[in-house]
Amino acid sequence: MIYARFDLAYLSFALHVDMQLPARGITVLFGPSGSGKTTLLRCIAGLERTASGLLRVHDEVWQDGAKFMPVHRRRLGYVFQEASLFPHLSVRRNLEYGLQRIPAAERKVQLEQVVEWLGLSKLIDRKDPDGLSGGERQRIAIGRALLTSPRLLLMDEPVSALDAASKQEILPYLERLHSELDIPVIYVSHALDEVVRLADHLVLLEQGRVIASGALNDTLSRLDLPTAHLDDAGTVIAAKVGMHDEDYHLTRLDFPGGSLWVSKVEREDGSMVRARVLARDVSIAMTAPKDSSISNILTARIVGMQDEGPDKVNVRMTLGDEHVLLARITRRSRDQLGLAEGMDVFAQVKSVVLTA
């Protein structure tokens, strides 16, 4: 468990945070720019010093009243927005910089492992890090941070400075990190597509305050939060690759509460994927449509509704016990169908985006 309480006031900005985060998986700090996500991350790292604060990571106290553990004593890894490689060191020396500074007994992550995980074998013998692409540099920076065998990995928008191609190059590595390394990660982002791809736990920040903190879907499906108003509001369904329909080139994803047909996924049967369903891609029917081109029809129960603008309404539905779905429909449809909380309906899912 990570417990953090910080109070910080600058002339134009204040941060007041009191939160508990799970000590495993990826926690994403999400919010618009200026909401204090980066400042909060810097406070956790000790790069920003608050007069009053309390920070406990696992069983260690990093900050408490007058006690302030200096940054270099905190067993953390930090990945900045720009790779910040040391220009005077070769790629290998960059990777080894932190590794050499931790006691041998603490070295849980080996250089060979990191090189393999992050695909660095072609880069490690390069002399000048300045000549590498943004994506390559950031991979090295991530590897360098991992090699300190951190007990907590902090990432400040690690892909936001990269072009789309480099971003797509990095994200699979981060997902892999997620599944293969047991290091809790706190990840700052303002991009919803990164959130749905990576987050297990989501913390929403606004003007220096935490407005929500909870499991990814619990938070994403809350109708009272700003995330519900986003154009690409929606939820994420963790599903298992079930069966393939080779004729039509489709794959069925199974989850407790239903299944979804998607374009064929080149993944092994039984592997887990994240399916993102946007609220605007979900429509509602009172009877099971038999003559629709939409093949994904799920039985759902309405558990909440909230108006969205003058003409729309967001509908929150449960699929079985575990999963939730958002639908954004018109107010007129709601009234014509007479939708109300507690009703069992059919949710038609027009499209599904696989994020991982």
Partner 1 sequence: MESAFTTADLSAIWLTIKLSTVVTVILLLVGTPIAWWLARTRCWWKGPVGAVVALPIVLPPTVIGFYLLVAMGPGGPLGQLTQSLGLGLLPFSFAGLVVASVFYSLPFVVQPLQNAFESIPERALETAATLRASALDTFFSVALPLAKPGLLTATVLGFAHTVGEFGVVLMIGGNIPDQTRVVSVQIYDHVEAMEYAQAHWLSAAMVVFSFVALLLLYTFNPSGKRK
Residues that bind partner 1 (CB under 8 A): 45, 47, 70-73, 76-78, 80, 82, 84, 86-88, 97-98, 101-102, 144-145, 148
Strands 185-189, 152-156: pairing kind: parallel
Q: What are the start-end ranges of the E strands in 167-311?
A: 185-189, 201-206, 209-215, 234-245, 250-255, 258-263, 272-278, 282-285, 296-308
Q: State the nearest-atom distance from the C-beta of 101 to partner 1, in Å.
A: 4
**Which is nearer to partner 1, 47 or 303 (by Cβ)?**
47
Shortest Cβ 328–partner 1 spacing (Å): 41
Evaluate the CA torsion angle 327, 329, 331, 335 in order and state its sign.
negative
Report how far residue 341's alpha carbon sits from residue 301's, in angstroms, rounded to the nearest whole number: 8
Minimum CB distance to partner 1, residue 49 (Å) = 12
131 phi, psi to nearest 5 deg:
-85, 0
Q: In this complex, which beta carbon is closest to partner 1, that of residue 82 or of residue 193?
A: 82
Smallest distance, partner 1 to C-beta of residue 189, A: 19
**Closest CB to partner 1 among residues 75, 331:** 75
As measured in angstroms, the least distance from the Cβ of 76 to partner 1 is: 7
44 vs 317 by CB, closer to partner 1: 44
- CA–CA distance, 283 with 44 (Å, rounded to integer): 42
Min CB(63)–partner 1 separation in Å: 15
Instruction: Return the number of the residue (17 or 145) whose C-beta is nearest partner 1.
Output: 145
**Cα–Cα distance between 218 and 202 in angstroms, integer?**
9
Residue 101 or 332: which CB sits closer to partner 1? Answer: 101
Residue 209's region, left for phi above 0, alpha for psi from -120 to 50, else beta, is beta
Instruction: Report the nearest approach of partner 1 to the CB of residue 18 (Å).
Output: 24
Give whichever of 82 and 254 is closer to partner 1, judged by the CB atom: 82
Could you give the C-alpha distances from 264 to 197, 238, 243, 244, 252, in angstroms and in order? 19, 17, 10, 7, 8
Q: How many angstroms separate the CA atoms of 36 and 199, rounded?
A: 18
